Amino acid sequence: MSVDLDTVRRVAELARLQFQESELASLAAEMNQILSLVDQLASADVTCVLPLTHPGDPQASLRLDVAEPAQDPQTLQQLAPQTSQGYYLVPRVLE
């Protein structure tokens, strides 16, 4: 399978990344080079094989339903580029 420039534009939109028009052709070429490697997956017979999402056999472990101290919101908000009165600031969404 190979991707064309329109597909690369659409995937970039989904990934919230932007590329100059001049970068798109080389990005598409790189993606196609990698996809030709990945396309070897088509050669596998995976009939009746269940997907393995996680190694081992993860068990949900139980714990007591007791509140534990969480991170201090103020400490975490100090990492934010813009905050005001305990809120994270973003550009206006509704006009």
Partner 1 sequence: MSALDLPLRDLRAALASGQTHAESLYLEARERAAASAELNALLHTCAAPDLSRSGVLAGIPFVHKDNFLHAGEATTCGSNMLRNFVAPFDATVSARLRESGALCLGKANMDEFAMGSSNEHSAFGPARNPWDLTRVPGGSSGGSAALVAAGVVPFATGSDTGGSIRQPAAFCGVSGLKPSYGRVSRFGLVAYASSLDCPGVLARRAADIAEVLQVVAGHDPADATSAEQPVPDYCAALSSSVHGLRIGIPDAFFGAGIDPQVAELTMAALRQLEAMGAKLVPLAFPEAVLAIPSYYVIATAEASSNLSRFDGVRYGHRCADPKSLNDLYRRSRTEGFGAEVKRRIMLGTFALSAGYFDAYYLRALKVRRQISDAMQRMLSSVDVLAGPTAPTIAFKLGEKLSDPVAMYAADINTVAVNLAGLPALSLPCGLLDAMPVGLQLIGQRFAEARLLQVAHQYQQLTDWHARRPPTAAASTGVRP
Q: Give the largest Cα separation in the chain, rounded.
A: 57
- What's the min distance (Å) between Cβ of 59 and partner 1? 8
Q: Does 93 bind partner 1 (CB under 8 A)?
A: yes
How far, CA to CA in Å, does 16 sit from each of 29, 30, 48, 80, 90? 20, 19, 36, 19, 16
Q: How many CB atoms lie within 10 A of CB 8?
A: 20
**Exactly one of 22, 54, 67, 69 binds partner 1 (CB under 8 A); which one?**
54
- What's the min distance (Å) between Cβ of 39 and partner 1? 8
Binding to partner 1, residues 19-48 (CB under 8 A): 19, 27, 30-31, 33-35, 37-44, 46
